[in-house]
Homo-oligomer: A and B are copies of this chain.
Amino acid sequence: MRKISESTVRRLCGYLRLLEEFQRAGKTTVSSDELALRGHTTPAQVRKDLSFFGSFGKRGLGYDVCDLTERLRDIMGLDKNYRVALIGAGKIGSALVQYRGFSDRGFDIVSVYDNDETKVGTSWGDVAVRHVSALESDLAVAPIQIAIIATPASEAQATLDRLVQLGIKAVLNFAPTQLDHPADVTVQNVNMAVELETLSYALRSCG
């Protein structure tokens, strides 16, 4: 299939969120116009984004909310649950494991790793922190699909290398550093410093 741009994929997430909202509100159909308005984009963009995957609407009517929700979930691979491991039981890791929003969407943090002996064994929500040296043997028994790197930046590359070695293909990285990795591994960065600096750039003109 044709390569889909990252911006399209990100917009699809947005449509899905809106559809869930519409569903909760009891709406049964929705038009590209409505999705565009609420999603900060244009009707043509909405239709083009969807058209890469098929034609899900009815001309003159719009899209069936439930049907399109299902289709999008399917397209995005959100019809299944993912087992996620968190590496780095620090401040940000703590917020992440306690957050219900991820498991609500099918991303279950099933294990937490750290290299600090004083943290190993302590209970974090449902799971006990394990020593990062157990990573290899643990994953052999109970595989995961996604890893979250929440270690200090200095440890991030080595951590990623280990994860790659273990065959992990999807990583969410919180360390503020650009990591090297093979092309078949997807690394998504959450870089809050960049977001703040983008704000700084935007404020230039405001005095």
Contacts and interface: CB of A to CB of B under 8 A. Distances in A.
Given A94-B95, A95-B95, A76 B199 contact: no
Contacts of A191: 13
Given A178-B38, A194-B10, A200 B76 contact: yes
A78 B190 contact: no
Interface string A113-150: 00000000000000000000000000000000110000
A56 interface: no
Interface in A76-130: 76-78, 82, 84, 91-92, 94-96, 98-99, 101-102, 105, 107
A25 interface: no
Contact of A39 (B107, B145, B178, B190): B178
* Interface size classification for chain A: 35 or more
Interface in A160-207: 169-172, 176-178, 180, 186, 188, 190-204, 206
A198 B13 contact: yes
Most chain B C-beta atoms within 10 Å of own C-beta, residue among A14, A199, A204, A206: A199
A192 B172 contact: yes
A44 interface: no
B145 A82 contact: no
Contacts of A99: 91-92
Nearest to A188: B195
A40 interface: yes
Nearest to A171: B199
